[in-house]
Each structure stands twice: as structure tokens, then as C-alpha cells.
Homo-oligomer: A and B are copies of this chain.
Amino acid sequence: PRPQPKGSRPPIRHFQLNNVTTTGDPIGNEERVLILTPMVKFYQEYWDNLLKLSYPHELIELGFILPKDRNGAIALKKLDAAVKKVQSGPKKNRFKGVTIMRQDFDSTVSQVEKERHALKAQTERRAAMARARNSLLFTTIGTETAWVLWLDADMVETPHSLIQDLASHNRPVIVPNCFQRYKENGVDAIRPYDYNSWAESDIALDMAKKMGPDDVIYEGYTDMPTYRPLMAMIYKENPGTDIHEEMELDGVGGTALLVKADVHRDGAMFPPFSFYHLIETEGFAKMAKRLQYKLYGLPNYLVYHYNE
């Protein structure tokens, strides 16, 4: 961008899309990362992990969207306090900018764990999530955004070099493997959490053909077996050690997900409706593919979801 006049809303902003690079060396090229988090609940562990990300904070902008209900209000209070603290603390910890949005639509679906996952509640829930993600994305992505890191509010543990590690692959869309820590007979163990990162199967494609136009296929339900290779199960059954091993994907989850901003700018959003019988982050994957982008997963690169 050319030099700009002073003031909080410059009257003329010039901007060359070419000048925003997205490369395998994002720090060297001072590439801006926008971290986007839809948030129902504020987890201190999420925040602590976020603060420890070693990507230069002056290159990171944060964006949050919270529901308009009581849960949103409670989370907002905690988030506000946490943001104020870091933004008025030591310079090197401060982020480039923070946007906090409250939704104008209800998340009508109950958040109780079991209900939340019942198959029939899924479409409504995933559509509400998709709308929240789209509102957040459309409102915060700016002229200088190079990368968008989607990071759910209940992601409590990632390597500190998460952004650099994912970006080093220089892929349009890349997703680590989302697991969960738990205790098995008092012993620390891990298990797969997010089943939305998968490669397509012929069986699922056949199922789709027989469905009505608004029907959606969901992963992880025994009454709807797709036999898709799931990235989570691939690691579970055959854990590898090379964290940079890639696999090509056709569906992605959004718990942690790095996207080149141009993929979104081209139009890839989170469909809040059945798109090729997919919705939300999985629908996003299909949309990115329709735009000729390839998606990759890192089966051996683990990140962890909160265990409620």
C-alpha cells in the first residue's frame, strides 16, 4: 500500500492484491495472520495457548464472534478482560489488532453435550456455526490479511510454532489432527476428537446420490457409515512420527485450520446450507475444491481439544 494520510479512517486506501504474499516463510515476508475464533465459552487454557504462539504478535490480528445469549455475555466479559490485559502489557505480547463481534442471530440449539451431537440437531447447529464463521470472516478479513487461522475457543493445546509449522507447507488449506486428552484408568491417554477431516469415499458419494437436495452427510455416526478415510483414525490406528507428513483431504474440520486469505477472497466461505451434501467446514472444503484449490492434512501433527 502507498503512504496514507493520518486519521482513523483514511479517505483513500490503495491496495495491490499482489503485494500480499503467502509463502512458506511467512515471518521472513512479514505476512499478516488473522486468527478467527467463534466463542461460546472462554477457556483460560485456550487463551494461555494463544498467547504462547511464537509467530510475531505484531503480525497477528484476532477476531472473535460470540452469541448474543447469556453464554455469550459471560464469555465476553472474560475475553474482554484478557484482551485488555495483553494489549496494555509488554509491547512484544500485544497483537496488531482485536475485533470482538456479538451475533445478531440466536444460536437456538442447546449446548448440552449429548444433545449437541444428536444427528438431527446437527444441521441446525452446523448451519448456525457456519453463519457465525461467515459473519466473522466477512467483517474482519482486510486488505493486508495473508493467512486466516481458524482456531476454536476450546482448543487448549497446540505447538507454539503452530502457524509457522502449518504455513511452511505453503498449501492453500492445511489442517492439523485434532485429538483430546483424557484419563484411562487414571493413566494419561489421547483419543481422536474431530472427524471432519477426511478423504472422500465411493460409498459416501453413492450415499449422496440417493439423498434429497437438502440432506447432509455427517461423519462419526454409526447409522450413517461412509467408510471415508478419517485423518483422526489414520493416526489412531497407525501413529506416525513425521509431523510434516501430508495427506490430501476432501473434507476439513475447523477446530484448527490454516487458510490462505486468497482462498476466502475468491469466495470460499462456510455454506450454512447443504452444498454437495456437505455443510460448514466440510462444505468449505468442497467450495475450495470447486475453486481449484487443494486441501491437505497433517495426520501426525496433533492439536488438542478441551475435554468437558
Interface residues, chain A, with chain B CB atoms under 8 Å away? 4, 6-18, 20, 68, 83-84, 87, 94-104, 130-131, 134-135, 137-139, 141-143, 262, 264-267, 269-273, 290-291
Contact = CB atoms under 8 A, between A and B. Distances in A.
27 contacts: A4-B8, A8-B10, A9-B96, A9-B97, A11-B94, A11-B98, A12-B84, A12-B97, A13-B99, A15-B100, A15-B101, A16-B101, A16-B102, A16-B104, A17-B103, A17-B135, A18-B68, A18-B104, A101-B143, A130-B267, A134-B266, A134-B267, A138-B265, A139-B265, A266-B272, A269-B269, A272-B291
A305 to B, nearest CB: 25
A291 B269 contact: no
Contacts of A266: 131, 134-135, 272
Could you say which of A9, A102, A141, A266 has the most chain B C-beta atoms within 10 Å of its C-beta?
A266
Given A9-B96, A12-B87, A131-B266, 9 more contacts: A11-B94, A11-B97, A12-B84, A15-B100, A17-B104, A130-B267, A135-B265, A137-B138, A139-B143
Q: How many copies does the complex hold?
A: 2
